[in-house]
Amino acid sequence: MPCRVILTLAMSVEPQKTFYLETFGCQMNVHDSEKVVGTLVSEGYRQVETVEEAGLVLYNTCSIRDKAEQKVFNRLNDYKKFQKQGKKFGVLGCVAQQEGEKIFERAPYVSLVAGSASYRNLPQMLVQIEAGKSRVTGLDDRETDECFETEFTSRTNPYRGYITIIEGCDKFCAYCVVPYTRGKERSRTSESVLAEARQMADLGYSEIQLLGQNVNSYKDPSGKKTFAELLAAVGEVSGMKRVRFTTSHPRDFGRDIIEAIDAVPTLCDHVHLPVQSGSTRVLDAMQRLYTRDQYLERVSWMTAAKRDISLTSDMIVGFPGETEEDFEQTLSLLEEVGFDAIFGFKYSPRPNTPSLALEDAIPDEEKARRLNVLLEKQRDIQRTSYQRHIGKIVEVMVEGKNEARAQWNGRTTQNTILNFKVPEGVEPAKGSYIQVMITGSFPNSLLGAMVI
């Protein structure tokens, strides 16, 4: 489901300087869109809620999943009828970088094609579009050393916000298109990250999530802080109650991260550490740069921590050459680790990736079977493991209310969804933190009651 980032500001702008932005994909894309929105507003544009109202229509795209580029072209084709109204169209993000100027050939009414590594040049690109240039591109690929930093970020949640600390990827996993669409790894200085965190705290944000394709691969250009030290420093910002980070790469995951979580109470006791496969042979074919045993070593650091750290992961089934024995090793890893949640996917070939050279001989029906077995086994694990929380009192950040069920909802520091009842007449404010007694559990969430 696409995530639309909507911000409407009352300001004096030219009628045609309106824009509609639709975002697909991960948290990085959502936060990129927040920065794109802020940049456009600072350039005199006003965001609107429908394509019909907009003079400029933008799609911030993701190419991680199969047929992502086709979905973009289908969407563009849906709105082809609007080109006669003088609307301009732009494709941003990973599909833009992946397909490049081929987008102009397949959709001649598109005026802007820009990958995420070129967003810092958006003001100049907008000037070219306003001047009537029909084809404007921003395709930096792996050339740029600069990050997209802007003071005009338009945040869509008033309590929880993102800070990108590292962009790009240098890992080149065999199945992954990200290194080719988001450029090389480039980190912001720790000073700029901390300045943004302090500014957010001053504006009332109480939860920050540090982002990066491989967030723990962060390397401070000023040489002042490691990732763990930066994590701890953000957690010590006055007014901050929760700090999260995603996504981590196992190769760069050090024991010092766990030590920081143990030492700084505001660092959430949750780690998302994608393993992708339980078979060392498949991990090697995936070019993941670690073994099963090395991954389990990192899990042991979390198990030995003072805090109860929740661990979630990503897994791919049906990678070329994955045997039934390899798949069984992935299932056994689920049991050995006891993940609190996983995101499972069927392998699909992506453009420009090394896995294209491998024979994808596993039928899609078999991939689907393996995925169903994987997810059902994980549900069984969660049905049991979530029961360990029953009877505990935990802090929850209030996110909303389900009117139909007369239940409120929020998340624990372990990033678990918790639905809870409140006493008659009590209306907890969104963004507030309350104590909840856990009274029940489901495979993907918890049930509780507010403690007065």
DSSP 288-326: -SS-HHHHHHHHHHHHTSSS--EEEEEEEE--TT--HHH
Query: Strand 46-47 vs strand 56-61: parallel, antiparallel, or unpaired?
Result: unpaired
Mean pLDDT value of segment 85-110: 93
Give, in words, the CATH class of 3-138: alpha beta
Show me where the domains of the chain are located: 3-138, 390-450
Whether pLDDT at 7 is above 80: no
Whether pLDDT at 65 is above 90: no
Whether pLDDT at 14 is above 70: no
What integer pLDDT is reported at residue 16 of this predicted model? 62
What is the per-residue pLDDT across 416-429, written as a single tens digit (0 to 9) for each? 999 999 999 999 99
Taking the C-alpha atoms of residue 426 and residue 404, their distance in angstroms, rounded to an integer, is 17
What integer pLDDT is reported at residue 431 of this predicted model? 96
Whether pLDDT at 35 is above 80: yes
Identify the CA nearest to 281 among candidates 345, 327, 339: 327
Judge whether 340 and 416 are in contact, CB under 8 Å: yes
Greater confidence, 323 or 141?
Answer: 323
At residue 381 the predicted structure's pLDDT band, cuts being 50, 70 and 90, is: very high
Mean pLDDT value of segment 223-249: 98
- pTM for the whole structure: 0.90
Whether pLDDT at 401 is above 80: yes
Question: Please, what is the Cα angle at 128 between 122 and 130, to 5 degrees?
Answer: 100
What integer pLDDT is reported at residue 156 of this predicted model? 87
What is the per-residue pLDDT across 178-211, written as a single tens digit (0 to 9) for each? 999 999 999 999 999 999 999 999 999 999 999 9
As a three-state string, the secondary structure of 63-116 is CCCCCHHHHHHHHHHHCHHHHHHCCEEEEEEHHHHHHCCHHHHHCCCEEEEECH
At residue 11 the predicted structure's pLDDT band, cuts being 50, 70 and 90, is: very low
Identify the CA nearest to 386 among candidates 333, 308, 307, 328: 308
Taking the C-alpha atoms of residue 392 and residue 120, their distance in angstroms, rounded to an integer, is 47
Burial class (CB in 10 A: 0-12, 13-18, 19+), 331: middle
Whether pLDDT at 44 is above 50: yes
Which superfamily is assigned to 390-450 in CATH? Nucleic acid-binding proteins (2.40.50.140)
The per-residue pLDDT of the chain, averaged, comes to 93
Mean pLDDT value of segment 43-70: 90
Judge whether 97 and 142 are in contact, CB under 8 Å: no
CA atoms within 13 A on the CB side of 189: 6
Least confident of 68-82, 120-134, 317-331: 68-82
Q: Which residues touch 151 (CB under 8 Å, ≥6 apart)?
A: none
Greater confidence, 48 or 24?
Answer: 48
